[in-house]
Amino acid sequence: MQQTFTIGTFGIITNEQNHVLLCLRTDCDYWNLPGGGLEKWESPSQWVIREIKEETWFDAEVIKLHGIYSKTHKNEIVFSFECRIIGGEITLNEEARDIKYFPSHEIPENTFWNHIERIKDYFESKKENKVIFKIQKGNSAIK
């Protein structure tokens, strides 16, 4: 029996004040890091750049891999990348009805719990300059 996995890619982008960029989704009332599911023919780092563009209209580049998160209960692997804006400007669109930077201690309550965990890991791991490898358990906030 062939086992299949879903692969996700998300970008962590901070501004000069070290606030993190989040998008308020149009399909539900939740904030998330820009990103999404990987499709054929692109690498995770290429895909996150495309997803950032589609969700925010920013041009971005990957700085480094931040973490790999396994969601074993869903057969999903998620790559989290530290990214930097290199052009463009915030533009609301069919995927994001609001896009804002938030201080790490003021992340909205209606942010996906697993994205909150990745943001927390990002700021903690930055001090040690290490890549996170973690299993994330729990149900999705979207039903």
Checking if the pLDDT of 143 tops 60, the result is no
Write the CA distances from 114 to 2, 38, 46, 73, integer angstroms: 27, 18, 22, 14
d(CA 43, CA 76): 16
pLDDT digit string (tens) for 94-107?
Answer: 999 999 999 999 99
pLDDT, residue 75, reads 84
- Looking at residue 1, its pLDDT comes to 63
- Which tens digit of pLDDT belongs to each residue from 42-76? 788 999 999 999 999 999 999 999 999 998 877 88
User: Beta partners for 10?
Assistant: 35, 80
Q: Which of 28-32, 71-75, 111-115 has the lowest mean pLDDT?
A: 71-75
Superfamily of domain 6-135: Nucleoside Triphosphate Pyrophosphohydrolase (3.90.79.10)
pTM above the 0.75 mark?
yes
Is the pLDDT at 132 greater than 60? The verdict is yes
